[in-house]
Amino acid sequence: MPSDEGVLDRLVDWVHTTDVFKCVASWTLVPYWARRTPVKPLPGGPHPSFQHGDNVQCMMNLIMPLKVKSPIGRAEAALAIAKNKDAIYAGLNNVGTVHFARFVIVGDNICMFSVYDGDFTNYIRDFIATIGEVFNEVVKLVEGGKKVIPCEKNVEAFIQWVHEHDLYQVPDTATDFLRDQEDLKGDRAVSPVDDDLTLLPRKLVLQLRANANISLGSGYRAYPGFSVAQVRKHLKLGW
Amino acid sequence: MVDTSTAKQLVQAIIDNLEQPVPGRRPVHTIGVGVKGEFVASDVACTYCIAEHFNGKPVRVSVRFSNGLGGVNQHDGWSDVRGMATRFHISGERGSDLIATTLGEFFVRNVDDFFEFSKIAKREKYERRPWWRKVWDLLQLKIPPRNPYPDETKNVDEGALRYANRHRFAQLGIFQVGLIGAPESYARASYHAVHTFWVTAPDGVRRPVRFSWQPVAGVRNTDPKAVPRDRYLFDELRDRLQRWPARFMLMMTIGEEGDALDDPTKPWPGTRIRVVMGTLTLLKVSEDQEADGERISFNPNRLAPGIEVSNDPILEARLGAYEVSREMRGGCPFKWR
C-alpha cells in the first residue's frame, strides 16, 4: 500500500475493523442514526410478482418466538412437532404445493422453513385447512399466538400473523434492497435523482436494526422455475 | 440503428478517457491473453438451440481473457472487471462469439446514457482519503473509500459514483464494479454476457436467454488487504493449463414475459429456469499471442444461426463500435457468419 501513510492513517484503517469499534458503534452511532433517519421494518415473504418463475419455489421463513424462553419451552415445542409428525406430513402431502418443509428451533424460537409454489395466502389457507389443529399445538406455545387460536377459525388473522412472522427476504442484488426501502417510503423517483450510494452501509445497518432477522436473497435452486407438480410428473413419482 | 459516426464517437469517448492512447491496441481490455480449448454441448443443449456449437459435437474454441482497464500498464491485482471473449469455431470459416465479463449487469441502458456517463465519469485525481475524513465517514456509518493502489493516481471512481447517484438504473452495475476485486486466476471467475439473446429450438420455439460462464474450479478472489501484484494472471493460467485443463460450464438462463429483454442494467431474478448448455475445456495458452491475443477480433453480434440479438441498444451499438476499434488497431476483419 502507499508508503506516505502516517500513524493516524494506519490507526483509522485498522480501528474500524476491530470488534471494539463495532461494539461501540452499535451502542452509540446506530441508535443515533436510527433516530435521525428512521427506518421502517420491511414486510416479510416473497416480493409480489405475476411471473411464473417468481411464483414457484417461494420461501417461507417463519420465526416464532416461544413464550417460555428456556429449555423447557424449547422441549415443549419439540414435542409438539414430534407427536404430530404424521399429521404434519399427511397435511403437507395434501397441500400438494410444498417442495420442502422443516421445523427448526433456533435460540428461543420455533421456526418453520418451507419452499412452496403459488400464492402465499393460498398456501397458508391450504395449510391450516389440512393441519390447522396441529398448528394450534405449536402456536399456543408462541408469543402472541393465543389471539389466532383456533387458527382454522381465524383464517385471515392467522394469515396476517404468519406474514408478520415471515422474514423479510432481501433481494438478490444489493441495490434492489434500496428500491424496497424507497417503495416502502413511496419514493417512485426516476432519473435524475439525488441519491448517495455511499450511504448503503448505513441503510443496511439501520434496516437490520428494524428487521433483526432476514433471509439473504432468494436462495439457490438446483432446478429453478419448476413446480412440485412438474417435478413429480417428470420423475414419474405419482401424485 | 447505430451509424458509423456514432460508433466512432463511442470509441473516441473511451479513448479520450485513457491515461494515454494505445495505437494499434484495444482501447479497453488492452491487456489480454489468448487461450485454446474445446467446447462440448450438454445432452440437452440441442433441445433449446439449433446453433451448430450446441449439437453435441466438440467445437474448437479460442478464448481471450483480459483485464478491463485501458492502457498498456498491467495491473492484474487491481480491482477491475475482467473479460472472457469466446469464439466457437463452427464449420467453414464461420464463428460464433460470446463476450462476457465479470460484471453481472451493465451500467448504462443505451448510447445516450453512455455518452453522458463518459462525460461525468472522467479520470480524476485519486488520493488517499485523509484520516480525519475517514473518521467522519465512520461516524456516519459509511465505509471509507479504499486507499489508492501503488502507482494509482487517477481513476473514474468518483465520476462513476456521481453518475450512479443521479441514475438508479446505473447503481447496480457501478456498485458491483466497486466490489469486484481481482481474481486469483482467470479460470476462477464467473463471466456474464449481460445482454439478452434469442435462441431458436428445433421445434421453432424462440426463447430469450442470457449466458454465463461458471468456473468448475470455483470463484476465488485475491485478498483485497494484501499489496496487489501487477503481473501474475498470465503465468498462473499458463502454469495451471500445463498441469491440468481448466473448465467452465456454460449456463443459459431463460427469461420470462416481463423480464428486461432490452436493458442490460436490469438483472433477471434467480428464479428463472437455468440450463447447462455445455462445458468449455481450456487446454493451453496460445503460442501465437499476436494472432490469438491481439489480432483476433470478437463481436457480440457475430452469432451462429439459431442465436439472434435482442433489441438491446447497447448490444446493437457494440456491433459498430467493435468494428471501429478493430479497424483502428488493424485486427482481423469481421467475418459475418
- Per the structure, the complete domain to which residue B41 belongs is given by 4-121+156-329
B136, part of any domain: no
Closest chain A residue by Cα to residue B275: A223
Chain A neighbors of B135, CB-CB under 8 A:
12
**Is B142 near chain A, with CB under 8 Å?**
yes
Classify residue B25 by burial, with Cβ atoms within 10 Å: 0-12, 13-18, 19+: buried
Query: Each residue of A43-86: pLDDT tens digit?
Result: 999 888 888 888 999 999 999 999 999 999 999 999 999 999 99
C-alpha cell at A120: 402465499
Closest to A191 (Cα-Cα) out of B35, B296, B170, B233: B170
B21, part of any domain: yes
Cα–chain-centroid distance for residue B326? 17
Chain A neighbors of B166, CB-CB under 8 A:
191-195
Closest chain A residue by Cα to residue B138: A16
Chain A neighbors of B249, CB-CB under 8 A:
none
CB distance B59 to B42 below 8 Å? no
ipTM over 0.85: yes
What domain count does chain B have? 1
CB distance B312 to B263 below 8 Å? yes
Which residues of chain B carry a pLDDT beneath 70? 1, 333-337
pLDDT reading at A171 higher than 60:
yes
Q: Count Cβ neighbours within 10 Å for each residue of B272-285 and write b for 16 or more, e otherwise.
A: bbbbebbebebeeb
Q: Hey, where are the domains in chain A?
A: 1-36, 41-239
> Using the beta-carbon criterion (under 8 Å), do A29 and B139 form an inter-chain contact?
yes
A vs B: CB pairs below 8 A: 126
B247, part of any domain: yes
Closest to B214 (Cα-Cα) out of B184, B250, B179: B250
Q: What is the percent of chain A where pLDDT is above 70?
A: 99
Residues contacting B257, CB < 8 A, separation 6+: A51
C-alpha cell at A46: 416473497
CB distance B103 to B81 below 8 Å? yes
CA distances from A56 to A51, A194, B15 (A): 9, 37, 47
> Using the beta-carbon criterion (under 8 Å), do B267 and A172 form an inter-chain contact?
yes
Q: What CATH number is attached to the domain comprising B266? A: 2.40.180.10
**Is A197 near chain B, with CB under 8 Å?**
yes
User: Can you tell me the distance from the alpha carbon of B36 to that of A145, in angstroms, rounded to the nearest whole number?
Assistant: 64
Question: What band does A1 get if pLDDT is binned at 50, 70 and 90?
Answer: very low
CB distance B280 to B41 below 8 Å? no
Average pLDDT over residues A206-210: 96
Q: Out of B169, B171, B270, name the one closest to residue A224 (CB).
A: B270
Q: Other CB atoms closer than 10 Å to residue A82's CB: what's the count?
A: 10
Q: How far is B167 from chain A (nearest CA, A)?
A: 5
Query: Each residue of A149-161: pLDDT tens digit?
Result: 999 899 999 999 9
Residues contacting A12, CB < 8 A, separation 6+: B131, B134, B135, B138, B144
The confidence score (pLDDT) of residue B95 equals 93
> Using the beta-carbon criterion (under 8 Å), do A54 and B148 form an inter-chain contact?
no
The single-letter DSSP state of residue A151 is G
B45, part of any domain: yes
